[in-house]
Amino acid sequence: MMRDVYFLVLPQVMALDLTGPAEVLALSGAFRLHYIGPQEEITTSIGMTVSRIAPLPASLPPDSIVVLAGVADSRQQLDSAPALEAQRWLRERRSSFQDRTWTLVCVCSGSLLAGRAGLLDGYRCTTHHDVMERLRQQVPAALVKDNRIFVEDRGVFTSAGITAGIDLALYLVSLYVGPQQAMATAREMVVYFRRGGDDPQLSPWLRHRNHLHPAVHRAQDILAHEPEAEWRLDALARQVFMSSRHLTRLFREHLGLSVREYHEQLRLAVAQQRLQQGQGIEKSALAAGFSSSRQLRRAQQRWQE
């Protein structure tokens, strides 16, 4: 299902705050992008003109995502007439964000715009380090967190500056589309997939993917496609056109794990998913490629130690 994303665009918007997340979401193929704002045409932080911006709408479809990108100089530009109009528009629709009819995403000083509209009161949030103290002063009810790439709290997502918007957009792809699509999008853009410091750890489907070796990625893709299969090392190595010894060395170098250890992590993830679906430990173990529930428990113990 395609999800609608509305970028609220202000004059002097930070170009990468806008285009970085937009590119991620567009490449994922699962989002319809719209651009709305108080003015039909604006100039960005780098002098580029953006035109054909739709007016601020009276309503949005349910489950829409509203993205507030930062501006070049939030000390002055958030007091401009267009910014104040955007702030009023957000404040009037505060209930739609609070009841999660819409999702709020803030990049860089977009958090300050949201905070001024009352959308961050009582929410954990973050922003660019240069804006952090002003966010605390101007929005004392916000629970501002330092040293975070991004923060998620009850359907409100806020990120630090500039490239952190790309990290947050990749996380949204993972959340709404799936971790494998997020990983594929990150690889297409040649960027790392990262999570915020207080978010859950990466699942095995995404962990150990922050490298650029194509053959290792191919081997990981093969294992991830059929984790329950009995993959012999030599058979997997032939699939990626190298020797078993060389593939083993590359896994150690780029993942810090053996091929067997990585494969076992994928199988454990499958088993955990089946357990959460209520299938029982024996069925879950067999579905993940373990020979028995006993073998599954031993694998779980190895990674808990």
294 pLDDT more than 50: yes
CA gap 98, 230 in Å, rounded = 48
Contacts of 157 by beta carbon, 8 Å cutoff, 6+ apart: 103, 104, 105, 106, 150, 151, 168, 171, 172
CA gap 73, 53 in Å, rounded = 21
Per the document, the length of the chain is 305
- pLDDT for the residue 201: 45
Residues of the chain with pLDDT > 90: what percent? 77
Read off the pLDDT of each residue in 239-245 and give the average, rounded to a whole number.
96
Q: How confident is the model at residue 194 (pLDDT cuts 50, 70, 90)?
A: low
According to DSSP, the β-strands at 42-43 and 49-50 are antiparallel
CA gap 24, 150 in Å, rounded = 16
198 pLDDT more than 90: no
210 pLDDT more than 90: no
50 pLDDT more than 90: yes
199 pLDDT more than 50: no
- pLDDT for the residue 202: 55
User: Residue 108 catalytic?
Assistant: yes
200 pLDDT more than 80: no
Q: Which of 69, 108, 144, 259 is catalytic?
A: 108
Residue 58, judged by CB atoms within 10 A of its CB (0-12, 13-18, 19+), counts as exposed
Crossing angle for the helix pair 259-276 and 244-255, to the nearest 10 degrees: 70
Task: Give the DSSP H or E segment for 62.
Answer: none
Phi, psi of 235 (to 5 degrees): -65, -40
Per-residue b or e along 108-117, where b marks 16 or more CB atoms closer than 10 Å to that residue's CB: bbbbbbbbbb
Q: How confident is the model at residue 197 (pLDDT cuts 50, 70, 90)?
A: very low
Q: Which range among 147-151, 197-201, 212-216 shows the weakest confidence by mean pLDDT?
A: 197-201
CA gap 245, 256 in Å, rounded = 15
Best CA proximity match to 69, nearest among 155, 131, 161, 174: 161
Read off the pLDDT of each residue in 14-42 and give the average, rounded to a whole number.
97
Which one-letter amino acid corresponds to residue 45? Answer: S
pTM listed for this prediction: 0.75
Measured at the CA of 103, the angle between CA 206 and CA 202, to 5 degrees, comes to: 15
Using one digit for the tens of pLDDT, what is the confidence trace for 66-112?
999 999 999 999 999 999 999 999 999 999 999 999 999 999 999 99
Tokens of 296: 């599954």
Tokens of 167: 């990290």
Using one digit for the tens of pLDDT, what is the confidence trace for 23-34?
999 999 999 999
- pLDDT for the residue 204: 74
Count other C-beta atoms under 10 Å from residue 226's C-beta. Answer: 11
* CA distances to 45, 46, 87, 196 from 174, in Å: 29, 30, 29, 13
Using one digit for the tens of pLDDT, what is the confidence trace for 161-171?
778 899 999 99
- pLDDT for the residue 156: 96
195 pLDDT more than 80: no
More confident residue, 181 or 57: 57
